[in-house]
Amino acid sequence: MTRGEDDRSFRRHLGAALAAAALLRLLALFVPLDPFANPDALAFTDLARSLAGDGRLAYVDQGAPGLELRAFRSLLYPVFLAPFVGGPLPGGLALAVQAALGLAAIAGLAFLARRALGPRVAIAAAWIGALYTPSIWYERQWTSEALFTPLLVLGALLAARATTGRAALLAGMALGLATWTRPAALAAAAAILLVLLATRARARDDGGGAAIRGRAAGALGLAFAAGLALALAPGLVRNARVVGAPVLLTSGGMNVWIGNGRGSVGDAWRIMARDLAARGEVGMDRWFYADTRAHAADIAAAAPRLLVEKLRVYFSPTAREPWILPWRFLWPLAALGVVLARWRDPRAAGVVAAVLVSQTAVALLTVPWARYRLPMEPFLWPLAAAASLRLWEAGTPGRAALASILVLNAAALAFQVGRGGWYP
């Protein structure tokens, strides 16, 4: 088979997976689902209405009534939502656009997996993505994950393929935009920059061929950093003008404070409601960081116990909510994939690792909620696909091992549901 035939075959199989993904999303429309199931959806829609109305991009959070916030949430998602919830377009169309972006993320991950692990693994990963209902659930929520995930995938794919300054610039810009939907993308950008400086892309999209020389690693890194800076600058200037400091957002300190055991979400909001008027957004954010640092010794002493609990929540093998169920089957196979995967392109492998490690680290340093885990999950699809294919190809022993992973997990699920129902 020629390379042209390989490309056509790959695109045909990918098209079938995307068609199945689109059909599943259409069928899911018949399942009632509240787009405000996550309380942050209220904040994002209020911000979008503010932008469409008076242009101020401000809202009052129910946790601190009567006190206006202007940089507490990421900026780009309300900008995306504004034409739909406060402008001329119907709100339901926003969810349709989010579903289309979800399909784009599946395609982008497939092309990244093709370069990293080959076409067979890439198609298997696309089918995992097509059937992955946690993605569909978040696509139907008015929260920033619907925009963050495809931007993160786009930036990773562009970086993995970058051999020119222009491509690296675009990769940096994509990750800069992702940072304005969630600042955790900045950690991914920093890790990917290191990968760009240390590796070269392969000649072919399937990860084959010799390493391409292209531009020197330093030039690619500089172009990537420039793209990142270009995307970040407008928001930093806006926040400096509005809240007095060039910050990405003013809720990072609260997340660090909660995530390091200083108090609950309710405790944090009670402090916000009490002190925000006097301290201001930036001052409040700095107070949370300062209080966390002041108790560093206590946090260090409790760190082992806290880390174990965070890992339990983050990887959550006990998850049994119907929409989130595939996660419990994905992560054991992905863990096996770390060992069994046969990487073809060091650059693409490094980019996948950079995203997974950086996003997991950010979650464990702050709060490891399932919503914060979701944008990392598509990068596990290729690993799970690689493990599944390797086990299947190993004959009877490998297939028995694959079946045992699925059966034991299903048995544990049945036991949990029998004891406590579908929702923990």
Residue 61 lies in a domain: yes
| 54-58, 62-66, 348-352, 405-409 — most confident range | 348-352
Evaluate if residue 210 carries a pLDDT over 60: no
On whether residue 406 sits in a domain, the answer given is no
Whether 196 is covered by a domain: the verdict is yes
pLDDT band at 422 (very low <50, low <70, confident <90, very high): low
Q: Report whether pLDDT(370) > 90.
A: no
pLDDT at 203: 55
Distance between CA atoms of residues 168 and 276, nearest Å: 41
How far apart, in whole angstroms, are the C-alpha atoms of residue 253 and residue 263? 12
pLDDT of residue 393: 94
User: For residue range 69-120, what is the model confidence (pLDDT) as tens digits?
Assistant: 999 999 999 999 999 988 888 888 999 999 999 999 999 999 999 999 999 9
Number of structural domains the chain divides into: 1
Residue 183, both tokens: 């600042």
d(CA 83, CA 92): 11
Q: Position 17: which residue type?
A: A
Q: Which two tokens stand for residue 302?
A: 């409790």
- Do the domain assignments include residue 417? no
- Please tell me what DSSP assigns to residue 211: B
The Cα–Cα gap between 202 and 377 comes to 25
Q: What is the pLDDT of residues 117-133, one digit of tens each?
A: 999 999 999 999 999 99
Angle between helices 346-365 and 184-198 (to 10 degrees): 150
67: containing domain: 7-306+325-393
DSSP assignment string, 47-77: HHHHHHHTS---EE-TTSTT-EESSSS-SHH
What's the mean per-residue pLDDT of the chain?
90
Whether residue 58 lies inside any domain: the answer is yes
Confidence of residue 157 (pLDDT cuts 50, 70, 90): very high
Rg of the chain (C-alpha set): 22
- Asked if residue 326 lies in contact with residue 133, where contact means CB atoms within 8 angstroms, the answer is yes
The reported pLDDT for the residue numbered 92 is 84
Selection from 66-70, 146-150, 314-318 with the highest mean pLDDT: 146-150
pLDDT of 204 reads 61
Place of tokens 């990293």: 116
Give the lowest-confidence range in 65-69, 162-166, 175-179, 232-236. 65-69
Percent of the chain topping pLDDT 70: 93
Q: Is residue 205 part of a domain?
A: yes
Q: Are 334 and 380 spatial neighbours (Cβ–Cβ below 8 Å)? A: yes
Strand-pair category, 68-69 with 59-60: antiparallel
Does residue 71 contact residue 242 with C-beta atoms inside 8 Å? yes
Residue type, 136: I
**pLDDT band at residue 35 using 50, 70 and 90 as cut-offs:** confident
pTM over 0.75: yes
- Provide the strand spans (E) within 171-287: none
**Which residue pairs, CB below 8 angstroms and at least 24 apart, start in 234-239?**
235/75, 235/76, 235/180, 238/75, 239/71, 239/75
In a domain, 413, yes or no: no
pLDDT of amino acid 379: 97
**pLDDT tens digits, 243-299:** 999 999 999 999 999 999 899 999 999 999 999 999 999 999 999 999 999 999 999
Q: Is 2 a residue whose pLDDT tops 60? A: no
- At residue 318 the predicted structure's pLDDT band, cuts being 50, 70 and 90, is low
Q: How far is CA 379 from CA 14, 58, 111, 183, 250, in A?
A: 17, 34, 12, 18, 28
Q: What is the pLDDT of residue 214?
A: 55
Q: Answer yes or no: is pLDDT of 209 > 90.
A: no
- CA dist 339 and 356 (Å) reads 15
| pLDDT tops 90 at residue 384 | yes
In a domain, 169, yes or no: yes
